Amino acid sequence: MRARSRNEIAFIVLIAIIAAGVTALAFRFVPAAAGAGAPSTASGPAAAGPRDTVIVIGEGTQLATPDIAILNLGVQPKRPSVREALSAANAEMDKLLANVKAAGVADADIQTTSLGISQNTDCCPSRISGYTASNSVVVKIHHLSNVGAVIAAAADAAGDDIALNGVNLDLSDRATQLKGARESAMASASTKAKHWAALAGRHLGKVLSLSEAVSTGVPQGTPCFGQCGGGGGGAPIQAGQSSVVVDVTVVYELTD
Protein backbone atom coordinates (compact mmCIF):
# COMPACT_ATOMS: atom_id res chain seq x y z
CA MET A 1 0.00 0.00 0.00
CA ARG A 2 2.81 2.38 0.86
CA ALA A 3 4.64 1.67 -2.41
CA ARG A 4 1.42 2.18 -4.36
CA SER A 5 0.73 5.42 -2.55
CA ARG A 6 4.19 6.68 -3.32
CA ASN A 7 3.70 5.83 -7.00
CA GLU A 8 0.35 7.65 -7.08
CA ILE A 9 1.86 10.70 -5.41
CA ALA A 10 4.75 10.71 -7.85
CA PHE A 11 2.32 10.44 -10.80
CA ILE A 12 0.22 13.34 -9.50
CA VAL A 13 3.31 15.52 -8.99
CA LEU A 14 4.44 14.70 -12.53
CA ILE A 15 1.04 15.77 -13.95
CA ALA A 16 1.20 19.01 -11.94
CA ILE A 17 4.67 19.78 -13.31
CA ILE A 18 3.55 19.13 -16.87
CA ALA A 19 0.47 21.31 -16.39
CA ALA A 20 2.59 24.10 -14.95
CA GLY A 21 4.90 23.88 -17.91
CA VAL A 22 2.03 24.11 -20.38
CA THR A 23 0.61 27.09 -18.48
CA ALA A 24 3.99 28.81 -18.46
CA LEU A 25 4.40 28.11 -22.15
CA ALA A 26 0.96 29.52 -22.88
CA PHE A 27 1.72 32.55 -20.71
CA ARG A 28 4.95 33.20 -22.57
CA PHE A 29 3.31 32.59 -25.94
CA VAL A 30 0.78 35.42 -25.64
CA PRO A 31 3.35 38.26 -25.34
CA ALA A 32 5.39 36.63 -28.09
CA ALA A 33 2.40 36.75 -30.45
CA ALA A 34 1.72 40.38 -29.52
CA GLY A 35 5.37 41.20 -29.96
CA ALA A 36 5.39 39.59 -33.39
CA GLY A 37 2.57 41.87 -34.52
CA ALA A 38 4.05 44.99 -32.95
CA PRO A 39 6.61 45.83 -35.66
CA SER A 40 3.88 45.70 -38.31
CA THR A 41 1.78 48.19 -36.34
CA ALA A 42 4.71 50.48 -35.59
CA SER A 43 5.67 50.69 -39.25
CA GLY A 44 2.26 52.07 -40.26
CA PRO A 45 0.85 55.57 -39.59
CA ALA A 46 -0.12 56.31 -36.01
CA ALA A 47 -3.86 55.96 -35.38
CA ALA A 48 -5.58 59.24 -34.44
CA GLY A 49 -7.02 59.28 -30.95
CA PRO A 50 -10.44 60.70 -30.08
CA ARG A 51 -10.66 64.46 -30.39
CA ASP A 52 -11.21 66.66 -27.36
CA THR A 53 -14.71 68.04 -27.81
CA VAL A 54 -17.44 69.93 -26.05
CA ILE A 55 -21.14 69.38 -26.82
CA VAL A 56 -23.60 72.21 -26.23
CA ILE A 57 -27.28 72.87 -26.92
CA GLY A 58 -28.41 76.32 -27.99
CA GLU A 59 -32.02 77.51 -28.11
CA GLY A 60 -33.45 80.28 -30.22
CA THR A 61 -37.02 81.61 -30.14
CA GLN A 62 -38.78 84.00 -32.47
CA LEU A 63 -42.19 85.43 -31.61
CA ALA A 64 -44.61 86.79 -34.16
CA THR A 65 -48.27 87.73 -34.40
CA PRO A 66 -50.31 85.19 -36.41
CA ASP A 67 -51.76 86.66 -39.56
CA ILE A 68 -53.80 83.78 -41.03
CA ALA A 69 -56.59 81.62 -39.63
CA ILE A 70 -57.56 78.07 -40.54
CA LEU A 71 -61.24 77.33 -39.91
CA ASN A 72 -62.76 73.86 -39.91
CA LEU A 73 -66.37 74.52 -40.84
CA GLY A 74 -69.17 72.08 -41.50
CA VAL A 75 -72.85 71.26 -41.44
CA GLN A 76 -74.54 68.51 -39.39
CA PRO A 77 -78.27 68.30 -40.17
CA LYS A 78 -80.39 65.70 -38.34
CA ARG A 79 -83.31 64.26 -40.29
CA PRO A 80 -85.68 61.26 -40.03
CA SER A 81 -84.14 59.40 -43.00
CA VAL A 82 -80.75 59.01 -44.62
CA ARG A 83 -81.92 60.58 -47.86
CA GLU A 84 -83.35 63.61 -46.07
CA ALA A 85 -80.18 64.05 -43.99
CA LEU A 86 -77.91 63.85 -47.05
CA SER A 87 -80.12 66.18 -49.04
CA ALA A 88 -80.11 68.75 -46.24
CA ALA A 89 -76.32 68.49 -45.81
CA ASN A 90 -75.74 69.03 -49.53
CA ALA A 91 -78.05 72.03 -49.69
CA GLU A 92 -76.60 73.62 -46.56
CA MET A 93 -73.00 73.09 -47.69
CA ASP A 94 -73.75 74.61 -51.09
CA LYS A 95 -75.12 77.68 -49.38
CA LEU A 96 -72.25 77.78 -46.86
CA LEU A 97 -69.65 77.71 -49.65
CA ALA A 98 -71.44 80.45 -51.55
CA ASN A 99 -71.58 82.60 -48.42
CA VAL A 100 -67.91 82.24 -47.43
CA LYS A 101 -66.80 82.97 -51.00
CA ALA A 102 -68.96 86.08 -50.95
CA ALA A 103 -67.18 87.01 -47.71
CA GLY A 104 -63.85 87.06 -49.55
CA VAL A 105 -62.52 83.49 -49.39
CA ALA A 106 -60.96 82.21 -52.62
CA ASP A 107 -61.69 78.77 -54.11
CA ALA A 108 -58.05 77.76 -53.62
CA ASP A 109 -58.43 78.35 -49.86
CA ILE A 110 -61.34 75.93 -49.41
CA GLN A 111 -60.87 72.16 -49.18
CA THR A 112 -63.31 69.37 -48.27
CA THR A 113 -62.01 67.31 -45.34
CA SER A 114 -64.77 64.86 -44.42
CA LEU A 115 -68.18 63.46 -45.34
CA GLY A 116 -70.23 61.13 -43.19
CA ILE A 117 -73.57 59.90 -41.94
CA SER A 118 -74.48 58.32 -38.62
CA GLN A 119 -77.52 56.90 -36.87
CA ASN A 120 -79.22 58.66 -33.99
CA THR A 121 -80.59 56.31 -31.35
CA ASP A 122 -82.87 56.67 -28.35
CA CYS A 123 -82.50 54.58 -25.24
CA CYS A 124 -84.71 52.23 -23.33
CA PRO A 125 -85.73 50.58 -25.52
CA SER A 126 -82.95 51.31 -28.01
CA ARG A 127 -84.27 52.43 -31.39
CA ILE A 128 -83.15 54.50 -34.36
CA SER A 129 -84.60 57.99 -34.11
CA GLY A 130 -83.01 59.53 -37.19
CA TYR A 131 -79.78 60.22 -39.05
CA THR A 132 -77.12 62.93 -38.98
CA ALA A 133 -75.21 63.76 -42.16
CA SER A 134 -71.98 65.74 -41.94
CA ASN A 135 -69.89 67.64 -44.44
CA SER A 136 -66.78 69.59 -43.39
CA VAL A 137 -64.35 71.93 -45.14
CA VAL A 138 -61.14 73.70 -44.16
CA VAL A 139 -61.10 77.41 -44.95
CA LYS A 140 -57.96 79.54 -44.93
CA ILE A 141 -58.47 83.22 -44.13
CA HIS A 142 -55.57 85.55 -44.92
CA HIS A 143 -56.75 88.48 -42.81
CA LEU A 144 -57.74 87.87 -39.19
CA SER A 145 -60.08 90.84 -39.33
CA ASN A 146 -62.23 88.79 -41.73
CA VAL A 147 -62.60 85.72 -39.49
CA GLY A 148 -65.76 86.91 -37.76
CA ALA A 149 -67.45 87.75 -41.06
CA VAL A 150 -66.65 84.32 -42.53
CA ILE A 151 -67.98 82.49 -39.47
CA ALA A 152 -71.14 84.61 -39.51
CA ALA A 153 -71.63 83.90 -43.22
CA ALA A 154 -71.29 80.17 -42.60
CA ALA A 155 -73.71 80.28 -39.68
CA ASP A 156 -76.25 82.19 -41.77
CA ALA A 157 -76.06 79.41 -44.36
CA ALA A 158 -76.52 76.45 -42.01
CA GLY A 159 -78.39 77.95 -39.08
CA ASP A 160 -78.52 75.55 -36.13
CA ASP A 161 -76.87 72.84 -38.23
CA ILE A 162 -73.54 74.73 -38.33
CA ALA A 163 -70.44 73.08 -36.88
CA LEU A 164 -67.24 74.98 -36.19
CA ASN A 165 -64.73 72.25 -35.43
CA GLY A 166 -61.71 74.42 -34.70
CA VAL A 167 -59.89 77.67 -35.36
CA ASN A 168 -56.09 77.57 -35.72
CA LEU A 169 -53.98 80.68 -36.10
CA ASP A 170 -50.72 80.53 -38.02
CA LEU A 171 -47.95 82.53 -39.67
CA SER A 172 -47.91 83.14 -43.40
CA ASP A 173 -44.14 83.77 -43.35
CA ARG A 174 -42.71 81.05 -41.15
CA ALA A 175 -39.38 81.01 -43.05
CA THR A 176 -38.39 84.44 -41.73
CA GLN A 177 -39.13 83.39 -38.15
CA LEU A 178 -37.25 80.12 -38.61
CA LYS A 179 -34.17 81.95 -39.89
CA GLY A 180 -34.15 84.27 -36.89
CA ALA A 181 -34.60 81.39 -34.45
CA ARG A 182 -31.69 79.49 -36.03
CA GLU A 183 -29.39 82.50 -35.78
CA SER A 184 -30.34 82.99 -32.14
CA ALA A 185 -29.85 79.29 -31.34
CA MET A 186 -26.41 79.18 -32.95
CA ALA A 187 -25.30 82.30 -31.10
CA SER A 188 -26.47 80.71 -27.84
CA ALA A 189 -24.55 77.51 -28.56
CA SER A 190 -21.37 79.43 -29.43
CA THR A 191 -21.54 81.47 -26.22
CA LYS A 192 -21.96 78.34 -24.11
CA ALA A 193 -19.13 76.52 -25.88
CA LYS A 194 -16.71 79.44 -25.43
CA HIS A 195 -17.57 79.57 -21.75
CA TRP A 196 -16.91 75.86 -21.27
CA ALA A 197 -13.65 76.08 -23.19
CA ALA A 198 -12.47 78.94 -20.98
CA LEU A 199 -13.42 77.03 -17.83
CA ALA A 200 -11.38 74.08 -19.07
CA GLY A 201 -8.40 76.26 -19.99
CA ARG A 202 -8.76 75.42 -23.67
CA HIS A 203 -9.57 77.22 -26.91
CA LEU A 204 -12.65 76.65 -29.03
CA GLY A 205 -11.96 75.02 -32.38
CA LYS A 206 -14.10 74.29 -35.39
CA VAL A 207 -17.61 72.83 -35.48
CA LEU A 208 -17.49 69.05 -35.93
CA SER A 209 -21.22 68.34 -36.16
CA LEU A 210 -24.54 70.16 -35.96
CA SER A 211 -28.18 69.09 -35.69
CA GLU A 212 -31.41 70.97 -35.09
CA ALA A 213 -34.94 70.37 -33.80
CA VAL A 214 -37.75 72.79 -34.68
CA SER A 215 -41.01 73.27 -32.79
CA THR A 216 -43.81 75.78 -33.04
CA GLY A 217 -46.36 77.12 -30.63
CA VAL A 218 -49.57 78.36 -32.19
CA PRO A 219 -52.73 79.51 -30.36
CA GLN A 220 -55.49 76.93 -30.70
CA GLY A 221 -59.23 77.44 -31.09
CA THR A 222 -62.20 75.78 -29.42
CA PRO A 223 -64.91 73.79 -31.25
CA CYS A 224 -68.50 74.99 -31.09
CA PHE A 225 -71.67 73.45 -32.44
CA GLY A 226 -74.67 75.65 -33.26
CA GLN A 227 -73.37 78.37 -30.88
CA CYS A 228 -70.90 80.33 -33.02
CA GLY A 229 -72.61 83.68 -33.10
CA GLY A 230 -74.93 83.21 -36.07
CA GLY A 231 -77.18 85.87 -37.51
CA GLY A 232 -74.27 88.18 -38.42
CA GLY A 233 -72.62 88.11 -35.00
CA GLY A 234 -69.48 86.20 -36.04
CA ALA A 235 -66.88 85.52 -33.37
CA PRO A 236 -64.16 87.71 -31.80
CA ILE A 237 -60.62 86.49 -32.52
CA GLN A 238 -57.51 87.30 -30.45
CA ALA A 239 -54.30 86.77 -32.42
CA GLY A 240 -51.95 86.39 -29.47
CA GLN A 241 -48.37 85.33 -30.24
CA SER A 242 -46.96 82.38 -32.14
CA SER A 243 -43.46 81.09 -31.49
CA VAL A 244 -40.90 79.28 -33.60
CA VAL A 245 -38.31 77.50 -31.46
CA VAL A 246 -35.07 75.97 -32.72
CA ASP A 247 -32.78 73.80 -30.60
CA VAL A 248 -29.32 73.13 -32.04
CA THR A 249 -26.91 70.52 -30.74
CA VAL A 250 -23.35 71.46 -31.69
CA VAL A 251 -20.11 69.54 -31.22
CA TYR A 252 -17.04 71.80 -31.10
CA GLU A 253 -13.40 70.79 -31.15
CA LEU A 254 -11.26 71.91 -28.20
CA THR A 255 -7.69 72.99 -28.92
CA ASP A 256 -4.71 73.95 -26.76
| pLDDT of the residue at 256 | 87
Reported as a pLDDT band with limits 50, 70 and 90, residue 60 is very high
Give residue 96's region: left, alpha or beta (phi > 0; psi -120 to 50). Answer: alpha
3-state SS, one letter per residue, for 216-256: EECCECCCEECCCCCCCCCCCCCCCCEEEEEEEEEEEEEEC
Q: In which band, very low, low, confident or very high, does the pLDDT at 124 lie, cut at 50, 70 and 90?
A: confident
Which CATH code fits 66-171+220-235? 3.30.70.2970
Q: Distance between CA 113 and CA 139 in Å, rounded?
A: 10
What average pLDDT does this structure show over 74-83?
96
Reported as a pLDDT band with limits 50, 70 and 90, residue 209 is: very high
Q: Mean pLDDT in the chain?
A: 80
Domain 53-63+175-216+246-255 is found in CATH 3.30.110.170? yes
Over residues 195-208, the mean pLDDT reads: 95
Residues β-bridged to residue 170:
68
d(CA 88, CA 13): 106
Residue 4 has pLDDT above 80, yes or no: no
Chain segment 174-190, per-residue pLDDT in tens: 899 999 999 999 999 99
Sign of CA dihedral 147, 152, 157, 160: positive
According to the per-residue pLDDT averaged within each range, which of 164-173, 204-213, 226-235 is highest? 204-213
**Is the peptide bond prior to 39 cis by the omega test (within 30 degrees of 0)?**
no
What pLDDT digit, counting tens, does each position of 5-47 carry? Answer: 455 544 444 444 444 444 333 333 333 333 334 333 333 343 4
254 in Cβ contact with 177 (< 8 Å): no
User: 136-165: per-residue pLDDT in tens?
Assistant: 999 999 999 899 999 999 999 999 999 998
pLDDT band at residue 234 using 50, 70 and 90 as cut-offs: low
Cα dist. 146→94, 103, 107, 140, 236 in Å? 21, 8, 16, 11, 10
Distances in Å between the Cα of 215 and the Cα atoms of 44, 110, 137, 182, 245 are 49, 26, 26, 12, 5
- How is the chain split into domains, by residue range? 1-47, 53-63+175-216+246-255, 66-171+220-235
Measured CA to CA, the distance from residue 140 to residue 171 in angstroms comes to 12
pLDDT at 39: 37
- pLDDT of 159: 93
